[in-house]
Chain A
Amino acid sequence: MRVARVRMRMRKPVGSEGRQERGGRAGAGAVVVVGAGPAGVAAAVCAADQGVRVVLVDSAVRAGGQFYRQPDARWGARRPQVLHHGWRTWQRLTARLDAHLADGQVTHLAERHVWFVERAGGDGFVVHALGGSGQDRPETVRGDAVLLATGAYEKVLPFPGWTLPGVVTAGGAQAMLKGGLVLPPGRTVVVAGTGPLLMPVAAGLAAAGARVGALIESAGPGRLAWGAAKVAGHPAKLAEGARYAAALVWRGVPVRTGHAVVAAHGSVRLEAVTVAALDAEGRVRAGTGRRIACDALAVGHGLLPHTGLAGALGCRIEETAYGGWGVAVDGEQRTDLPGVWAAGEASGVGGAELALAEGEIAGRSIAARLRGREPDRRGCAAAAGTRAGLRAFARVIDGVYGPPAQWAERVGDDTVVCRCEEVPASAVRSAVAGLGATDLRSVKLLTRAGMGWCQGRVCAPGVAGVAGCAWSPASRVLAQPVPLAVLAREEGAAP
Chain B
Amino acid sequence: MVGAACAFYAARAGLRTVLVDRGPVAGGTTGAGEGNLLVSDKEPGPELELALLSLELWRRLVAEDPGLRTAVEYEAKGGLVVGSEYAGLAALEEFAARQRAGGVAAVGVDASELRSLEPNLDGGLAGGVLYPQDCQVMPALAAAHLVREARRAGAVLRTGEVVTAVRRAAGDGGRVLGVRTSRGDIHAPAVVNAAGTWGGEIAALAGAHLPVLPRRGFVLVTEPLPPRTVRHKVYSADYVADVASDSAALQTSAVVEGTAAGPVLIGASRERVGFDRTFSLPAVRRLAAQAVGLFPVLGRVGVVRGYLGFRPYLPDHLPAIGPDARVPGLHHACGHEGAGIGLATGTGHLVAQGLIGEVPELDLAAFRPDRFGAEESG
A contact residues vs B (CB 8 Å cutoff): 116, 118, 128, 136, 312, 314, 421, 431, 434-439, 441-442, 445-446, 448, 451-453, 455, 475-478, 481-485, 487-490, 492-493
Distance from A414 Cβ to chain B, minimum over Cβ atoms (Å):
20
Q: CB within 8 Å of A: which of B264-285?
A: 266, 277-279, 281-282, 284-285
Q: Closest approach, in angstroms, between the C-beta of B311 and any C-beta of chain A? A: 17
A interface SS class: loop
Contacts of B224 in A (CB 8 A): 452-453
| A39 vs B197: C-alpha distance when bound (angstroms) | 43
Q: Which residues of B contact A438 (CB under 8 A)?
A: 23-25, 159-160
Closest chain A residue, CB of each to CB of B301: A484
Tell whether, in the assembled complex, residue B304 and residue A455 are in contact, meaning their CB atoms are under 8 Å apart.
Answer: yes
The reply on B147 being an interface residue by CB < 8 A is yes
Q: Which of A136, A482, A484 has the most CB of B within 10 A?
A: A484
Q: Which one of A421, A475, A488 contacts B299 once the chains associate, using CB atoms below 8 Å?
A: A488
B60 within 8 A of A: no
Given contacts A446-B144, A451-B261, A485-B292, contact A437 B302 (CB under 8 A): no
- A481-B303 in contact given A118-B281, A439-B24 (Cβ < 8 Å): yes
Of residues A439, A446, A481, which shows the largest number of chain B Cβ atoms within 10 Å of its Cβ?
A446
**Chain B residues whose CB sits within 8 angstroms of the CB of A439 once the complex forms:** 23-24, 27
Q: A488 and B148 in contact (CB under 8 A), knowing A438-B160, A453-B223, A481-B302?
A: no
A453-B223, A477-B305 as given contacts; A435 in contact with B299, CB under 8 Å = no
B140 interface neighbour in A128, A442, A483, A485, Cβ under 8 Å: A442
Task: Tell me the bound Cα distance from A434 to B144 in angstroms.
Answer: 9
Q: Say yes or no for B157: interface residue by CB 8 A criterion.
A: yes
- Whether A484 contacts B26 by the Cβ 8 Å rule is no
With both chains docked as a complex, state the minimum distance between the C-beta of A113 and any C-beta of chain B, in angstroms: 12
Docked CA distance A436–B151 (Å): 11
> A-B pairs with the 7 shortest C-beta distances?
A436-B25, A481-B302, A485-B299, A445-B140, A487-B288, A442-B24, A488-B289
A481 touches B223 (CB 8 A): yes
In whole angstroms, how far apart are the Cα atoms of A138 and B33 in the complex? 29
**Would A436 and B303 be within 8 Å (CB), given that A445-B26, A484-B291 are in contact?**
no
B368 lies within 8 A of chain A by Cβ = no
Taking the closest CB of chain A, its distance from the CB of B224, in whole angstroms, is 8
Q: Among residues 301 to 359 in chain B, which have CB atoms less than 8 Å away from a CB atom of chain A?
A: 301-307
**B contacts with A: majority SS:** mixed
Residues of the A chain whose Cβ atoms lie less than 8 Å from the Cβ of B301: 483-484
Contact of B284 among A431, A453, A487 (CB under 8 A): A487
- B282: chain A residues at CB < 8 Å are 492
Contacts of B157 in A (CB 8 A): 436
Residue in chain A with minimal CB distance to B286: A488
- Tell me the nearest residue of chain B to A115, going by C-beta: B303
A-contacting residues of B (Cβ < 8 Å)?
23-27, 31, 140-141, 144-145, 147-148, 157, 159-160, 220-224, 261, 263, 266, 277-279, 281-282, 284-285, 288-289, 291-292, 298-307
Q: Are A435's CB and B145's CB within 8 A?
A: yes
Residues on B with beta carbons closer than 8 Å to the beta carbon of A488: 285, 288-289, 291-292, 299
Residues of B within 8 A of A489 (CB): 289
Q: How far is the CB of A354 from chain B (nearest CB, A)?
A: 30
Given contacts A482-B303, A484-B288, 20 further A-B contacts (CB under 8 A): A312-B279, A436-B24, A437-B24, A437-B144, A438-B24, A446-B26, A446-B140, A446-B141, A453-B223, A476-B305, A483-B299, A483-B300, A484-B291, A484-B300, A484-B301, A487-B284, A487-B285, A488-B288, A492-B282, A492-B285
Q: A437-B25, A441-B31 are in contact. Are A492 and B281 (CB under 8 A)?
A: yes
Shortest distance from the beta carbon of B146 to any chain A beta carbon, whole Å: 10
A185 to B299, CA, bound (A): 37
A453 lies within 8 A of B300 (CB): no
Bound Cα distance from A198 to B160, whole angstroms: 40
Q: How far is it, in angstroms, between the C-alpha of A301 and the C-alpha of B311 when the chains are bound?
A: 40
Chain A residues, Cβ within 8 Å of B141: 445-446
Known: A435-B145, A436-B144. A314 touches B298 (CB 8 A): no
A442→B303 contact, CB < 8 A: no
Chain B residues near A453: list those with CB within 8 A.
223-224, 304
CA gap between A451 and B222 in the complex, in Å? 11
A116 neighbours in B (Cβ, 8 Å): 279, 281
A436 touches B147 (CB 8 A): yes
Chain A residues near B298 (CB, 8 Å)?
Answer: 484
B285 to A490, Cβ gap below 8 A? Answer: yes
Q: Is the CB of A478 within 8 A of B145?
A: no
Q: Which residue of chain A has its CB nearest to the CB of B71?
A: A435
**Nearest CB in chain B: distance from A309 CB, A:** 11
Q: 15 A-B pairs, CB-CB below 8 angstroms?
A: A421-B261, A435-B144, A436-B25, A438-B160, A439-B24, A441-B24, A445-B26, A446-B26, A446-B144, A477-B306, A478-B306, A484-B303, A485-B292, A485-B299, A487-B220
Q: Which of A314, A441, A455, A487 contacts B27 (CB 8 A)?
A: A441
A436 to B159 CA separation, bound complex (whole angstroms): 7
Most buried by B among A116, A136, A441: A441
B222 touches A484 (CB 8 A): yes
A441–B27 alpha-carbon span in the complex (Å): 8
Q: Are A484 and B27 interface neighbours, CB within 8 A?
A: no
Tell me the complex Cα distance, A446–B138, Å: 9
Contact A442 B160 (CB under 8 A): no
| Docked CA distance A488–B222 (Å) | 13
**B305 lies within 8 A of A478 (CB):** yes
Residues in chain B near residue A128, CB distance under 8 A: 281
* In the complex, residue of chain A having the shortest beta-carbon distance to the beta carbon of B160: A438
CA distance A431 to B141 in the complex (A): 10
User: Whole-angstrom distance from the CB of A419 to the nearest CB of chain B?
Assistant: 14
Q: How far is the CA of A236 from the CA of B224 in the complex (A)?
A: 49
Contacts of B147 in A (CB 8 A): 435-436
Residue of A nearest to B31 (CB): A445
- Within the complex, the shortest CB–CB distance from B217 to chain A, in Å, comes to 13
Most buried by B among A439, A445, A475: A445
A455 to B302, CA, bound (A): 13
